[in-house]
Structure 1
Amino acid sequence: MADQMATIEDSQEPSADPLDLPSSLRVISLNCWGLKFLSKYRHARLVEIGHQLAKATPAPQIVGLQECWTQQDYLAIRELTKHILPYGKFYWSGIFGGGLAILSKWPIEESSMFRYPLNGRPQAFFRGDWYVGKGVASARIRIGTGRKDVVEVFCTHLHAPYEREPNDSYICHRTAQAWEIAKMMRHAAERGHMVLGLGDFNMIPLSLAHRLIEAHSPVKDIWRIVKPDSAVGAAEDSAEKARGLVVPSSRMCLEEHGTTCDHRFNTWRWSKQMKKDFFKGKDSYIDPEAEDHRAKRLDYVFFASQEGVRWQVQDVQVGFTMRHPTLLCSLSDHFSIETTLVRHPTVGEKTEDKVMTSFLPVETYDEILAMVAKYNIRERKQRRWRLRHFGAEVVITIGCFIAVWWSPRNFVAFILMLVSTLGLSAGVLDGLMGGLFVGSEIRALKEFEYEVRLAKEQALRAAA
């Protein structure tokens, strides 16, 4: 966890005594799609998200938001929900902010923002993952008077997949990010606290990152606790096709498979023609019983119970499927995951007596190590080419400066100076990325590789 801890900001007095240990806990995780300048109807949609949170039944008590990028949107949601969620934290990270926020019925005792060491590449400016400083927003929330009556909430948004696995060039980053948040949740559980991992994890169920989280921390995917036979991807994905099941309907995707992304009910996932007609005022009817080939689950609530208290999952559902009352568009390009946890009077088994980490098959660690080695070779090659480009541009610039002395025309001298300036600027940027960024990335890879090797050794000892 990050070294720096911050006292909660912009808190208000709660309307009820926050020190009574609740009998149930209502939790919501939602990717708001609040990209400034890029997301259509951004502020109007996020204001309506605030309205829907404020009137939700049962009322949410802990909410994790992703892609809530601006203070304007965050403060609007805070104002609308302050009667049920009087505490909140907007998390700052990177150049443009991480887009993460946590709202709570109870006081937030401590908070921190941990930025992932492997977190995209600055040259991919058109994707923006590196610039927003993706990481884990964490909040320590006290829900009772006991020493361990604490919920540690971890809200995150992992690196987006831009190609299908295993050909995704960022799969190494996303796997390393899953490793980091798994460690944080494991450490929280070892302190005897309840753990909630909320967010858009950009992974499908039972993928490598998903299995890694559940193996290296005691948390479990709430949807699969309730519906263990739910889909492991979109119907068109190879993992789901291998199960040999029929393509689910749109209704079944929501009710049984927890699909939060690319669903046919979501107006932002409609075809170009449907969206074009929609913005002209012509709505489209979506048959709930028609097959849905693309819907998948990328959003999760992971959960581990509090030491000495048995919490169980009462229900889980997909939420925020409604549309904006006047714009008639979906409130986000994702739906929410919502769950109710119920406290049972029976004292549960203490977590300090449990093994907090299970292990993946040894060949899975070999798979991760091979992935790291492959990515390491790629980045070292990139580093060499970028440094060579920098060196070549320095030589070209010096050559242009010398050529200016014998330039027969002023416009020729101008062209030489322009070429040298632009070329050197590009070379310096490439040199900085190759010499500094790629260097730091390779060092982060070494740390990740070392930790995976340690886990592999422990898995081998456990299997012996």
Structure 2
Amino acid sequence: MSSGFAPSASSDDAPRKINILTFNCWGLKFISKYRRERLLEIGRRLAQSEYPPEIVGLQECWTQEDYHNIRKETREILPYGKFYFSGIFGGGLAILSKWPIEESSMFPYPLNGRPSAFYRGDWYVGKGVASARIRIGQGSKDIVDVFCTHLHAPYEKEPHDSYLCHRTAQAWEIAKMMRASSEKGHLVIGLGDFNMLPLSFAHRLITSHAPVVDVWRSLHPDSSIGAAVDPVEMARGKPVPSGDFNILENGATCDGIFNTWRWSKSLQKQLGKENIVVEGSLPDPLGKRLDYIFVSDSQFGGSGTPCKWNVESTRVGMMERHPVLRCSLSDHFAVEATIVREAARSLESVEEEGASFLPIQKHMESIYSATPTSPTLPSAPALSPLQTPQRKPTIQGDIYDQILQMISTYRNRELFQRRARLGHFIASIFISIACFVGVWWSPYPFVSFILCFVSTLNFGAGIIDGLIGGLFVSSELRALKEFEWEVRNARRTTLGLGLDIEEDLASPSRTQWFS
């Protein structure tokens, strides 16, 4: 039996254990309260952690000032770091490391929000994937590829979320990157605020399209798949969890009772006078997990004696409050994990382990298949949440079909948006001309002023809509077309049909894209 594994080629100085942390810092400039004080304290807490982190991914660290403050506090344990630049206001991403960063890149997402939704800001921050290649030893395979991201925020409940296609495309992109790195034989770590629930469509897409495991579910396979009030979680028939249970078992990182930024305004004001203690036994119906650490084995892409990374422990971190302000350090808590590397073994022992693992794998597959999902989404693929030596990332055909249907729906919306915005631009030209004609015939100065003012506002709005409809929407349609081609190609490959370029060119939907 062939292994399909990369050679170990790991040096003796490579670490046997790595502590990982991901944290959304909530560092929005001019918006987040006590931003400087909180982010400075975040740096101190990282440096004083009970489990000193060795690889850290930060999100919503928007300003270089905050980043440098964190770097000053953590320089002793995390001497290497990178702040990533993207978009108009910056992506808010940073990676810190105990080991040298050999290469670094920032990959913007092709689908990334809308400029017209300026009050949400997702498009303006240029969301994408911050990547860093970190060398942890002298061996040829002593490489960790770290990917840090912050997916598009949901503003409605699935499946009615108008940005569901954006988040799906972004999950596809980061999964593709992690898969490519794993095939090189590198250890892959994905970090971030993914703005998705466990076992949601995007979550299943990532763990199916890339050989990665959600570290929390690998140790807590029965943990919640949403807040207690969410339909998918209510369908499981579980009792409303306590605050302690949500932290210890469900890994709830946001909206829980322990986070002071989710309290009422009156309770937040009391924090300035006294330290309010929350009983962990109280029910916590809103707590959920949106933050993730994904880890792969470094086993794909060659043959030889493998080494394997296992998840030793995982926990919710950064729950401490600011010592003076008494508020939580962010509106999220962190996710921490410790992974350990097994000693190199022979191929025969690995094959024997794979055979002995099959009963456990079947048991975990039954857990996955029994977990309820949203009625509009396909059932979860029969994959084990644990990383087995033989596992290859695969996606079921119905998931591909679901993505293609999502693309089609969003494409039709964008075509309507383009026609409407370009129509508004053309109409604004005629309205402005009519206003100037009215100025010509107006007998009163104040009427002329009003007509000029209306003409200016109307034409300005028309130009903006014209630019969005003519430039942005066209760009997004082309990005959607590329996404559709990748999904169709992957679907055909999975079904063993191969790539048929002529069929792609002759597709009836091809002529509909830019009509």
- TM (norm. structure 2) is 0.83
Q: Give the equivalent residue in structure 2 for 1:160.
A: 153
Give the aligned CA root-mean-square deviation in angstroms.
Answer: 1.8
For 2:291 and 2:448, locate their aligned partners in 1 and report how far apart those are by CA, in whole Å. Answer: 57
For 1:359 and 1:339, locate their aligned partners in 2 and report how far apart those are by CA, in whole Å. Answer: 26
Residues 1:399 and 2:440 are matched in the alignment: no
- Is the Cα contact below 8 Å between 2:148 and 2:192 reproduced in 1? yes
Amino acid at match of 1:297: R
Q: Give the equivalent residue in structure 1 for 2:192.
A: 199
Q: Kindly state the Cα deviation for residue 287 of structure 1 after the two structures are TM-superposed.
A: 1.7
- Is the Cα contact below 8 Å between 2:432 and 2:459 reproduced in 1? yes
Q: Give the equivalent residue in structure 2 for 1:312.
A: 310
Q: 2:122 aligns with which of 108, 126, 129?
A: 129
Residues 1:448 and 2:483 are matched in the alignment: yes
Amino acid at match of 1:319: G
Q: Kindly state the Cα deviation for residue 273 of structure 1 after the two structures are TM-superposed.
A: 3.3
For 1:264 and 1:70, locate their aligned partners in 2 and report how far apart those are by CA, in whole Å. Answer: 29
- Is the Cα contact below 8 Å between 1:314 and 1:339 reproduced in 2? yes
Amino acid at match of 2:163: Y
Residues 1:212 and 2:211 are matched in the alignment: no
Residues 1:337 and 2:373 are matched in the alignment: no
- Is the Cα contact below 8 Å between 2:292 and 2:335 reproduced in 1? yes
- Is the Cα contact below 8 Å between 1:190 and 1:356 reproduced in 2? no
Q: Kindly state the Cα deviation for residue 416 of structure 1 after the two structures are TM-superposed.
A: 1.7
Q: 2:265 aligns with which of 262, 266, 272?
A: 272
For 2:466 and 2:268, locate their aligned partners in 1 and report how far apart those are by CA, in whole Å. Answer: 43
Q: What SS does structure 1 have at the residue aligned with 2:250? A: coil
Q: What SS does structure 2 have at the residue aligned with 1:461? A: coil
Amino acid at match of 2:433: I
Residues 1:359 and 2:359 are matched in the alignment: no
Residues 250-269 of structure 1, C-alpha deviations (whole Å, 9 max, x = no match):
00100011110111000001
For 2:277 and 2:473, locate their aligned partners in 1 and report how far apart those are by CA, in whole Å. Answer: 49
Q: Give the equivalent residue in structure 2 for 1:142.
A: 135
Q: What SS does structure 2 have at the residue aligned with 1:317? A: strand
Q: Kindly state the Cα deviation for residue 354 of structure 1 after the two structures are TM-superposed.
A: 5.8
Residues 369-428 of structure 1, C-alpha deviations (whole Å, 9 max, x = no match):
111111111111111111111001111112222332222122222222111111100000
Residues 1:387 and 2:422 are matched in the alignment: yes
- Is the Cα contact below 8 Å between 1:30 and 1:335 reproduced in 2? yes
Q: Kindly state the Cα deviation for residue 346 of structure 1 after the two structures are TM-superposed.
A: 2.8
Residues 1:95 and 2:83 are matched in the alignment: no
Gaps of 5+ in 2: 1-10, 300-305, 351-386, 498-515
Q: Kindly state the Cα deviation for residue 348 of structure 1 after the two structures are TM-superposed.
A: 7.8
Residues 335-355 of structure 1, C-alpha deviations (whole Å, 9 max, x = no match):
00001111111348799x967
Q: Note the 1:253-268 alignment, pairs <5 A.
A: 253-268=246-261
Q: Could you tell which deviates more after superposition, 269-278 or 198-207?
A: 269-278
Percent of aligned pairs with the same amino acid? 60
Q: Kindly state the Cα deviation for residue 458 of structure 1 after the two structures are TM-superposed.
A: 2.9
Q: What SS does structure 2 have at the residue aligned with 1:256? A: helix
Q: 1:248 to 1:155 in 2, by over 3 A?
A: same
- Is the Cα contact below 8 Å between 2:271 and 2:325 reproduced in 1? no
Residues 1:114 and 2:126 are matched in the alignment: no
For 2:14 and 2:112, locate their aligned partners in 1 and report how far apart those are by CA, in whole Å. Answer: 38
Q: Give the equivalent residue in structure 1 for 2:504.
A: none
Q: Give the equivalent residue in structure 1 for 2:288.
A: 296
For 2:473 and 2:152, locate their aligned partners in 1 and report how far apart those are by CA, in whole Å. Answer: 17
For 2:128 and 2:392, locate their aligned partners in 1 and report how far apart those are by CA, in whole Å. Answer: 23
Q: Kindly state the Cα deviation for residue 282 of structure 1 after the two structures are TM-superposed.
A: 4.7
Q: Note the 1:7-46 alignment, pairs <5 A.
A: 20-46=13-39
User: What is the count of residue pairs matched by the alignment?
Assistant: 442
Residues 66-125 of structure 1, C-alpha deviations (whole Å, 9 max, x = no match):
000001100000011111100000000000000000000111000000000101111111
Q: Kindly state the Cα deviation for residue 330 of structure 1 after the two structures are TM-superposed.
A: 0.3
Residues 228-251 of structure 1, C-alpha deviations (whole Å, 9 max, x = no match):
111111111111111111111100
Q: Give the equivalent residue in structure 2 for 1:439.
A: 474
Q: Could you tell which deviates more after superposition, 451-460 or 142-151?
A: 451-460
For 1:192 and 1:90, locate their aligned partners in 2 and report how far apart those are by CA, in whole Å. Answer: 26
For 1:39 and 1:398, locate their aligned partners in 2 and report how far apart those are by CA, in whole Å. Answer: 44
Amino acid at match of 1:242: A
Residues 1:229 and 2:222 are matched in the alignment: yes
For 1:210 and 1:187, locate their aligned partners in 2 and report how far apart those are by CA, in whole Å. Answer: 18
Q: Give the equivalent residue in structure 1 for 2:321.
A: 323
Q: Kindly state the Cα deviation for residue 445 of structure 1 after the two structures are TM-superposed.
A: 1.1
For 1:220 and 1:26, locate their aligned partners in 2 and report how far apart those are by CA, in whole Å. Answer: 16
Q: Kindly state the Cα deviation for residue 277 of structure 1 after the two structures are TM-superposed.
A: 3.4
Residues 183-209 of structure 1, C-alpha deviations (whole Å, 9 max, x = no match):
000000011100000000000000000
Amino acid at match of 1:323: R
Q: Give the equivalent residue in structure 1 for 2:382.
A: none
- Is the Cα contact below 8 Å between 1:310 and 1:348 reproduced in 2? no
